[in-house]
């Protein structure tokens, strides 16, 4: 029995390696590389980005999110409207089966951290809970990374 312990420790350490790929699962839904961009004290809101992939055969519907990092979290879409970038809140975000919804800084969907509790600095981490219709909730860990660093790391997941 004595020789089993080091083996167990080794397998625990090995099992920890995939976690560094920074990915979470909720049944057939895969959430990859959640990150938020830095927010200095002068900025009231933050933005978080992640990839949601649906591997099963029914679409996943993100209906809400929450985090201790901000008063509330809203699902936003950003698009060009007459040459002006506009953000609007959307009630939900549906991801079709077999597809991945990617969120990246600079446009499209993102999670808006409304009224940050504290500024976000590179290297910070905080939990974020995603709520899906029917599937329930999953908690992920968000890292604060620059837009470029976060985007490149997220793209590296695919």
Query: Which spans of this chain sit near Cu ion (rule: CB under 5 A)?
Result: 76, 87, 112
Contact 91, 26 (CB under 8 A): no
Q: Which is nearer to Cu ion, 65 or 112 (CB)?
A: 112
Contact 69, 117 (CB under 8 A): yes
Q: Which is nearer to Cu ion, 88 or 125 (CB)?
A: 88
In the complex, the smallest distance separating the C-beta of residue 145 from Cu ion, rounded to whole angstroms, is: 18
Q: Which is nearer to Cu ion, 36 or 95 (CB)?
A: 36
In the complex, the smallest distance separating the C-beta of residue 50 from Cu ion, rounded to whole angstroms, is: 14
Q: Which residues pair with 144 in a beta bridge?
A: 36
In the complex, the smallest distance separating the C-beta of residue 21 from Cu ion, rounded to whole angstroms, is: 27
In the complex, the smallest distance separating the C-beta of residue 89 from Cu ion, rounded to whole angstroms, is: 8
* C-beta nearest to Cu ion: residue: 76
Residue listed under structure tokens 């969120």: 103
Task: Quickly list DSSP for 99-114.
Answer: -EEE-BTTBEEEEEEE
Q: Which is nearer to Cu ion, 52 or 112 (CB)?
A: 112
Q: Which is nearer to Cu ion, 54 or 120 (CB)?
A: 120
Q: What would you measure as the largest C-alpha separation in the chain, in angstroms? A: 71
Contact 107, 78 (CB under 8 A): yes
Q: How far apart are CA 142 and CA 38, in angstroms?
A: 12
In the complex, the smallest distance separating the C-beta of residue 113 from Cu ion, rounded to whole angstroms, is: 9
């Amino acid at each position: 029995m004595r020789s089993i312990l080091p083996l167990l420790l080794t397998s625990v350490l090995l099992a920890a390696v995939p976690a560094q790929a920074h990915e979470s699962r909720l049944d057939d839904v895969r959430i990859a590389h959640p990150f938020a961009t830095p927010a200095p004290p002068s900025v009231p809101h933050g933005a978080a980005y992640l990839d949601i992939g649906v591997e099963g055969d029914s679409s996943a519907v993100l209906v809400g999110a929450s985090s201790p990092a901000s008063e509330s979290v809203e699902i936003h879409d950003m698009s060009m409207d007459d040459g002006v970038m506009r953000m609007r809140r959307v009630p939900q975000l549906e991801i079709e089966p077999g597809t991945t919804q990617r969120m990246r800084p600079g446009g499209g969907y993102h999670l808006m951290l409304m009224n940050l509790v504290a500024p976000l600095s590179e290297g910070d981490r905080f939990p974020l809970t995603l709520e899906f219709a029917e599937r329930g909730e999953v908690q992920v860990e968000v890292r604060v990374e620059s837009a470029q660093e976060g985007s490149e790391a997220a793209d590296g997941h695919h």
